Amino acid sequence: MINLLFFGRLGDLAKDAPTCIASLEPDTTPLGIRQMMKADHPELSKALSEPQVLVSVNKMIVKWDEPLFEGDELAFLPPVTGG
């Protein structure tokens, strides 16, 4: 099972999105999970497609084509500002 986390405004868009993915194909990636959400959560998928959105696997920033494995935690991170 892969746990999914959505931060910032992505969390607002993900209210009805799954919080975990139970069965994985051998080549599952964050990009693949984003594609899976396209049909049921088009607004969220569109927001995740923005170039400034980052992904983290097990608290490490990775590329969208990073392989995912059973027990991983996948977080979607919107841009943040602060002062």
Euclidean distance between CA atoms 45 and 13, whole angstroms: 9
Read off the pTM.
Answer: 0.90
Average pLDDT over residues 4-32: 90
> What whole-number percentage of the chain has pLDDT above 70?
95
CA angle 78/82/83 to nearest 5° reads: 170
Show the domain range for 42: 2-77
Residue 81 reports pLDDT greater than 70: no
Tens of pLDDT, residue by residue over 42-71, are: 999 999 999 999 999 999 999 999 999 999
Is residue 83 a part of any domain in this protein?
Answer: no
Tens of pLDDT, residue by residue over 5-15, are: 999 999 999 99
The predicted pLDDT at position 25 comes to: 77
Output the domain CATH number for residue 27.
Answer: 3.10.20.30
Is residue 50 a part of any domain in this protein?
Answer: yes
Q: What single string gives the DSSP state of each residue in 25-81?
A: -TT--HHHHHHHTTTT-HHHHHHHTSTT-EEEETTEEE-TT----TT-EEEEE----
* Total number of domains in the chain: 1
